[in-house]
Amino acid sequence: MKLTGAHIIWKCLVEQGVDTVFGYPGGAILPAYDALLDHPIRHVLVRHEQGATHMADGYARASGKAGVALATSGPGATNLVTGIATAMMDSIPLVCITGQVPEALLGSDAFQETDITGITLPITKHNYLVTSAADIAPTIREAFSVATSGRPGPVLVDITKNAQQHETEPVPSPPPPPPARHAALAPSRSHADALSRATALLANAKRPVILAGHGILKSGAMDDVRTLAERAQVPVAMTLLGIGSLPAAHPLNLGMMGMHGEAWVNDAIQEADLLLAFGMRFDDRVTGKLASYAVNAKKIHIDIDPSELHKNVRADVAIAGDLGTVLRQWLAQVEPARHEAWISRIGELAGGPTVRDIAELPDNGRLCAAHVIHDIWRATEGRAIITTDVGQHQMWTAQYYKVAEPGTFITSGGLGTMGFGVPAAIGAKLARPDREVWAIVGDGGFQMTQAELQTMVQERVKIHIAIINNGYLGMVRQWQQFFHDRRYSATPMSSPDYVKLADAHGLSGLRVTQRSEMAEALRQAREAPGAVVMDFRVEQEDIVYPMVSPGAALNDMIRRPGSPTLAETGADA
């Protein structure tokens, strides 16, 4: 029996295991929306197409499956761009399906015609323009394979309206392909040689550090990394997106590295004689000044994307391959080892349990962002799914929310997308309805996508929104304080009354201005039957410490000036 291209779209999505999509209808995608009513897929109506890609992104990160977003042509498609770029930078599998004007009108500047494949070429793993109904099924199947194989990423499929309307014989689904892996994973002599050299470097190292990146989570290699770290007693430093790859409470977990990482972690990297870089790309926020980055350390770099090897930092051993597969091969060669002196040295750098002790943060009736995030962590025992926007609150969350499980810290790393937190939390909650979900956002980022509050209402999605409200674009203001002589240009920011805003949407709203109010507010939010918007009025000109200035060495950090209440390392205590 012949089917329209529109029906074939949904049959293919069902075939790929899709149960939820995020989108916004319009003229060029209308045939697909008409066909949707005949297929068992939940559609979440967003309030802006950027929200669709962020929700699909959060859904993908929380579920481990590809997220799906739909939009019409022209402005609908272009509104997806920021979310697509966010997914591309963080290696998140998305399939974005857009409607396009009929094939006969392509190139004529028709109403709502935009060359979305041309626009998204640099920010997608691959994209397609489909003009025939017969090509829809094989293209969508290939799109999912491309999005989820190797280094994951977003794929866009642009389908003309005539292709959706025309009928064709549906193409039978081919047998499932074998798990798509990077070609470099095939057993090879070069892999064996590289692993032998890596084994020798690790055996001879006195001060090794594992650099744990997002690739650990993408590969599912958490147990393999933990086994290696424990067997060879190697401490583990986290990138921002690597958080969760080893429980925060594990004794070998040092915490986050980089521009706003723990000072002792950056010091340890600079003193190391061997860096084991797993699924990370040595970006500028991790390395600081490259010329002075870990100059005395040998480097072992394992990544599924060969283009990342030697790109920023030259490795002594570089292996392109799926991290879990490579580590399991390598573990057969790794002998038990102890590095007690090195662990003791890092303990000296860190200064023991008094460092970053939240109990030592001054209260005096005030409310600091660190108080808020720590108390959320304590209430949830580190087991909630946390999403964030980008800025100071994001760094404080990375520092003070001690993540216990992999895949539960969801944030925009590479692109640094404000407005990500709330829609990503909606997607994560729909992927994991059994889990408690918190969106920790700034007042700036929240206002970018606050329209999605009504999506939460319509879809009956319960998440908790913690707005760290300091009346500024906080991280930009911090840079203005440090590098522009406190000339606060365009960073003071007003906000609506968030409690009234929540009420206007039919949601519960709470305002907290003092630390003493935190416990009761968190209890009310967690016991509420629906979503809650929480307005935390925190200190306005607080600073994220430490901070590596742009162009500075990794261990040349701006430190908390003369604070008797909160130490950054043992040297500060």
pLDDT attached to residue 569: 52
Task: State how far the Cα of 537 lies from the Cα of 421, in Å rounded to an integer.
Answer: 19
Instruction: Please tell me whether residue 255 adopts helix, strand or coil conformation.
Output: strand
pLDDT attached to residue 188: 57
Per-residue pLDDT band at 573 (split at 50, 70, 90): very low
Which long-range contacts link 293-299 to residues 24+ away (Cβ below 8 Å)?
Answer: 293/553, 293/554, 294/269, 294/270, 294/554, 296/271, 296/272, 297/209, 297/269, 297/272, 297/273, 298/201, 298/205, 298/273, 298/274, 299/274, 299/275
Mean pLDDT of 175-190: 50
Q: Provide the 10 A C-beta neighbour count for residue 174.
A: 9
Task: Express as a percent the part of the chain with pLDDT over 90.
Answer: 90
pLDDT attached to residue 183: 39
Instruction: Please tell me whether residue 315 adopts helix, strand or coil conformation.
Output: coil
Per-residue pLDDT band at 515 (split at 50, 70, 90): very high
Amino acid identity of residue 92, one-letter, is I
pLDDT at 182 over 70: no
pLDDT at 564 over 50: no
Q: Which residue has the higher pLDDT, 373 or 175?
A: 373
Q: Which of 12-21, 186-195, 286-295, 511-520 has the lowest mean pLDDT?
A: 186-195
pLDDT at 181 over 70: no
Instruction: Please tell me whether residue 564 adopts helix, strand or coil conformation.
Output: coil
> How confident is the prediction for the chain on average, in pLDDT?
94
pLDDT attached to residue 152: 98
Task: State how far the Cα of 421 lies from the Cα of 438, in Å rounded to an integer.
Answer: 9
Q: Provide the 10 A C-beta neighbour count for residue 254.
A: 25
Q: Active-site residue numbers?
A: 49, 111-112, 161, 475
Mean pLDDT of 33-42: 98
pLDDT attached to residue 427: 98
Task: State how far the Cα of 362 lies from the Cα of 115, in Å rounded to an integer.
Answer: 55
Phi, psi of 474 (to 5 degrees): -60, -45
pLDDT tens-digit readout, 326-363 = 999 999 999 999 999 999 999 999 886 545 555 556 66
pLDDT at 445 over 70: yes
pLDDT tens-digit readout, 417-444 = 999 999 999 999 999 999 999 999 999 9
Reported as type and span, the H/E element at residue 369 is: helix 369-380
Contact 14, 41 (CB under 8 A): yes
Residues 6+ apart with CB under 8 A from 518: 367, 371, 372, 375, 512
Mean pLDDT of 169-198: 69
Q: Provide the 10 A C-beta neighbour count for residue 405.
A: 15
